Each structure stands twice: as C-alpha cells, then as structure tokens.
A and B are shown apart, each in its own frame.
Chain A
Amino acid sequence: MAVQKTIAIIGATGTMGSAITILLARTNNELLLMARDQQKIKTLSDFLKKEYPLTDTHAVHCSKEACWEADIIIMAVPGEVEAEMANDIKEVVTQKIVISVSPETSLSQLQKVIPHSKIVKAFYSNTPSELKMAKPGQEINSFIMSNDEEALTTVSEMLRSVGLKPVIYDVKSPSISNFNF
C-alpha cells in the first residue's frame, strides 16, 4: 500500500476541481478541500462523506493553511489567477509537489513564482467529464509534465491509482513515444 499523502485541492468546488476531488476520494489519501464558497464546500464535503466514508476529507478555509498541512497541492484554479494564488502560498510549498491543471499556463511561468517547489502540469489534457468516467482498469490518457523526476513518478502513481494512464511529455526533448502525429 502506498504511503498515505495529504493532498490540498485549491478550487475544489469548480468543475475541474470537483472532478479531481471525487477521483481522489477513491484513493487512501487525506484530502483538504479549499474554495471561496463555503456553502459549496460543505455540499461537496457532505457528498464525499456519504459516498466515500473511509476517505479522510476536511474543509479548510484558508488556502495557505491547507497548503501548509499538505504534501501535494493541486491548484484547480483558472489560468489567469494561478500566479497570484501561487504567490499567496509560496512560503509553505517549498520542496512540495504543486500541480497546475490549467491548459493555459506553462511550467516556466509558475517556476518564476515558486522556484523551490516541484511543479507538475497534470489533468490539463482531460475534460471534467472524462475525469468523471475514469475508473481503475480503464486507460484514459492523461498528459503530465515536470522538470522533476521524482514528482513525475509520484504523480504518475497517483493517476494510475484512479484509472488514468499517465503519458509523460518530455519537457527537455519533446517527443512522445506512443503518439505519432
């Protein structure tokens, strides 16, 4: 059994955020849910407690608090506010894996804001409805990229555990072996 990790999901109630949250609720990780709308957070949290009673989920009101407690941070926020959000949590995410889900931003943009974190782009190639369909045994392709080997391994394992097939996009020498365009 993989070591239990604490995962903070910022923007947990958005369409992308909630799809990822529901996927991860099936794993044995502890989830910290953060969103501005307290009512929506409560609805989501109640839903998870009912559907996945064994999963440890907590609603956390402050993104910095959530990220401080977490081992892995998922920023399920729109691309245009990502940098600002990263700047808010900068102090508490050094050396941690920070996952960006936006298809609009790049690794290097985030790297400038949080240079001492292990930034991974993941889930950006999937639609929320695709994520909702994922289940173990299925092989839905999911692209990931990062400059950090260890982070790629950890996130690949996480994707596999929820039924996604990680396809690593090599940032340094772009070519994807199992795809021919």
Chain B
Amino acid sequence: MYELLHQRISEIITVTDEEFEFCKTLFQPKKLRKKQFLLHEGDECRYTAFVEKGILRTFSIDEKGNEHILQFAMEGWWVADLYSFLTNEPSTYNIEALEECELLLITKPSWDLLFEKIPAFEKYFRIILQNSLIATQRRLMGSLSESAEEKYEKLVAAYPTHLQKLPQHMIASYLGITRETLSRIRRNIAMRK
C-alpha cells in the first residue's frame, strides 16, 4: 500500500525503516471510485494526497459553466489545493478521480508533525515544491507564448502514456483550447507523419 510512496521518497532522501514506519502512521489510506471528488469547490482542502493508483484532475468552473483544468495528478504525484490547505480558506477548485484511485491522505497537523520528527522530509518536500514551481512557470510561459500545436506537442512528449488514458475534451480544457482545435491539431500531426 505504501510501496510507491516509499520508492518516491527514497529517490530523494534516505529514510530508515523505523522512520518510514512512523511516516505511515500519519497517512489515511483512501479509495475513490471513478467520478468521486477528493475536494469540492467551496470546501476547505483538508488533505494533501499522494496518488498510489489512478488519475485525478484539479479543475474550476467559470461563470458560464465552462470547466478549466489546472492539472492532472498521475501515479506517484501529490495533489492538493495548496492555498486552501495552508490557509484553511475555502477552495476555488474541485479535485475529481478520473478512474478508481488509491490515495494516501495527510492533514496539515500531521504534515507538520512529520517535518518536526523527521527533518529529512523537509528536504523531500522542498525538492517536490521546487519542481512544481518550475513546472508551473513553464506551463504559464507556454500558455502565454506558445501556439496550441506547440503546447500539445510538448504535452505529448512529457506524458506519452498518461495522455492515452485521458478523454480528448479534458486534454483540450487543460491546454485552454476547444475540442475542435485539438482534433484539427491531431489531424495535422497525423498527416505530417
């Protein structure tokens, strides 16, 4: 149940078996069915989740009822609305399971306790957050300066296998383009090959 988490942590820091056993006591193992929500807009984001199995999406709905996908969370990734998690303010996002998911949930008090007891975890999360900031900057720059086709090709290059699991309208929403534009791009790419 904790293998993937252990593996991911061990890639960055060294933890003893005893430390990892303690770490395990702070998480809530949780299963979600397809289309169930980890977080609803307007609720407080009480947990940060590690994805052991499955895919989730973080999205918001605008006044016209359009969905905007901020990010997907794949196996081995962490997902939360960090702002709401850290401030206890209501979240502006929804987090939904796109297939059956197995998650490990941790609350803010447990997360603080983990850092206090095993400081190496601060290093682990520092690196995770650094990477996340870089990825967010790249995604922001891309959405300001790249064409729809460039954005799509970069996404395919970054997540070739994950993308196959996602419906086209969600990929379009993530890229901020319409479904029609996405299928035109895919047609163009297929014709070039």
Contacts and interface: CB of A to CB of B under 8 A. Distances in A.
Interface string A39-74: 000000000000000000000000001001101000
Q: Dominant SS at the A interface?
A: loop
Which residue, of A3, A65, A91, A95, has the highest number of chain B Cβ atoms within 10 A? A95
B48 to A, nearest CB: 13
Contacts of B151: none
A69 B105 CA distance: 12
A3 B105 CA distance: 16
Interface residues of A, number: 12
Interface stretch (B28-36, B73-81, B125-133, B159-167): B28-36
B29 A94 contact: yes
Given A3-B43, A95-B26, A116-B25, A68 B107 contact: no
Interface in A80-100: 91-92, 94-96
Interface in B17-55: 24-33, 40, 43
A92 B103 CA distance: 11
A94 B27 contact: yes
Contacts of A69: 30-33
A68 B52 CA distance: 13
A108 B25 CA distance: 18
A92 B1 CA distance: 9
Contacts of B102: 68
B110 interface: yes
A91 B30 contact: no
Given A68-B102, A94-B25, 15 more contacts: A3-B43, A68-B30, A69-B33, A71-B28, A91-B29, A92-B1, A94-B24, A94-B28, A95-B25, A95-B26, A95-B27, A95-B28, A95-B105, A96-B28, A115-B25
Interface of B: 1, 24-33, 40, 43, 102, 105, 107, 110
25 contacts: A65-B31, A68-B30, A68-B31, A68-B102, A69-B30, A69-B31, A69-B32, A69-B33, A91-B1, A91-B29, A92-B1, A92-B29, A94-B25, A94-B26, A94-B28, A95-B25, A95-B26, A95-B27, A95-B105, A95-B107, A95-B110, A96-B28, A115-B25, A116-B25, A116-B26
